[in-house]
Amino acid sequence: MEGENESEKTKINNISTVAQKSTAHEEIFNVPDDTACFIQQILPDQSAEMRILEEETNCEGTNKFTTIEIQTDSIKMRNKSVQVKLQKNSAVEKFVNAIRIDENKCIFYTSLNFEQILALHRFLSPACDNLEYWGNRETKNKSSENSNKYKLTSMQQLILVLLRLRMGYLIEDLAYKFDVSTGFVSKICTTWIYFLHNEFTTELKPFMFPSRKTKAETLPKIFRSIKNIRVIVDCAEFFCQSPTNFEHQGNLYSSYKAHTTFKVLIGCTPNGCISFVSDVFEGSISDPEIFKRSKIADLLQPGDVVLADRGFTVHDIVEAKQAHLNIPPFLNGRDRLTPQEEMLTKKIAKQRIYVEHVIGRIKKFRLLQTVLPLNMRTLMSQIIFVCACLVNFQTPLVFDEEE
């Protein structure tokens, strides 16, 4: 009995101990009201700080996204500018490649085959890569188109100028074809005309009028009956606009062409190579006067023969150089020429025809076939001289020596 009572007491003690522990835990978790109020006061501040941190984090994320968007837009803009440049480059390169592989097309558009264009470009290099463009001095402190925009290579610029001369394209037309501005095309054309004229004048002109020895080595059979023939001369005229000033209008008016013209004296060798080009004169000037003012007689040597048309009555100028002038005979009041004079006239005409072929080649440059504006007057001497030199780059005139 006593053992049972002790075991019951032990159980009761354990139960009371557990009850005390549970009561202690309840006291711990049952926080007084003041403490609960204090916690409620603290927690809203902490939640507000958390919201501020979240907002700052969101702002930082938004700024990051905005920066990424701006960078993406700038990349897109750069890509667009690159694409535009590639389109411009492809427009030019497409044409250059087309004339490179098609010789007939190249000759049609530029008057030269592509090998001749390459030879001309080599002749002009390296000066053509360091040109100071016309009009850049006035806009030296400003951003010019050829400095901050797409640039054409020197080869492409040369082809553009050849197109202008050969095809007579307008400045606007070339600008649309090459996808550049009209101002840039105008600068290129003006700069290159002066540049070509300067290079041809300094490098080619001293050798254009050949020596007697060179002339004798290349003399065609048809001219071997004329001893010491040195040059064949004739005048070429190019239509121009009529000025409003009557005095200037009268000076430019050509009675032969019945139009206002620019007039130039052309001399060629017996094998059809252009050997002399005078400056441009007004259309009213006579053939003897332009012969005198061009100073071609200064190139003659004693014993030389000059072949010309009937209008070149310049015996005194030529004979002053101890040379001889060969022109068709005049009627001098007679009804007809003698049989000998008719034969001489036909012979001279047959030999003189080659200077007409040379002038015809110059006039195939369509810029010179148009009615030239008066604002090109200051450039006309340079343009015609450049066209004449380009004719010399072409395949030589073929003479039938059996004639």
**How do residues 370-400 score in pLDDT, each as one tens digit?**
999 999 999 999 999 999 999 998 887 755 4
**How high is the pLDDT of residue 167?**
95
Half-sphere exposure of 295 (CA within 13 A, CB side): 2
The neighbouring-strand residues paired with 328 are: none
Give per-residue pLDDT as tens, 241-283. Answer: 999 988 889 999 999 999 999 999 999 998 889 999 999 999 9
Q: Which residue has the higher pLDDT, 44 or 242?
A: 242
pLDDT band at residue 369 using 50, 70 and 90 as cut-offs: very high
**How high is the pLDDT of residue 73?**
59
Query: Do 121 and 158 meet the contact criterion of CB atoms below 8 Å apart?
Result: yes
Percentage of the chain lying above the pLDDT 90 cut: 48
Q: Is the pLDDT of residue 147 over 60?
A: no
Write down the pTM of the prediction.
0.74
Give per-residue pLDDT as tens, 102-129. Answer: 999 999 999 999 999 999 999 998 888 8
CA distance 168 to 98: 20
- Which amino acid, 220? P
H or E element, residue 101: helix 33-101
Which domains does the chain carry? 98-136+144-203 (no CATH), 212-393 (3.30.420)
**How high is the pLDDT of residue 55?**
52
